[in-house]
Amino acid sequence: MGKAGKSLKQVLETYDISQNRLAIAMGIRAANVNRWVNEVRDPGAETLLEIRNGLRKIDRAASDEFIRLYLADSEVADSEDE
């Protein structure tokens, strides 16, 4: 667990975006965002796209950074599996 949550937490902190603000942009409850950020639950593939879209509504650079961090974490995990 956690690649998406860690990436999201870092982006929210770096770009000073509150969990509530992202939740509003996504049209969901802030509790869902909190679960991802605190790594209680991992978002699914469709939700990752919704997170990206929600961030893009707020700050395109934050959206791009989220994807970059998430993919970088995925590459590290893949190389550790080899």
Please, are residues 9 and 18 in contact by the beta-carbon 8 Å criterion? Answer: no
Give tens-digit pLDDT for 30-79.
999 999 999 999 999 999 999 999 999 999 999 999 999 999 966 555 55
Cα–Cα distance, 9 to 56 (Å, whole number): 16
Confidence of residue 2 (pLDDT cuts 50, 70, 90): confident
Say if CB 55 and CB 66 are below 8 A apart: yes
| pLDDT of res. 71 | 93
Which residues have C-beta within 8 Å of that of residue 52, sequence separation ≥ 6?
Answer: 63, 66, 67
- What local confidence, expressed as pLDDT, does residue 82 receive? 54
CATH code, 19: 1.10.260
pLDDT at 76: 54
Tally of domains in the chain = 1
Q: Which domain holds residue 31?
A: 3-81
pTM: 0.86
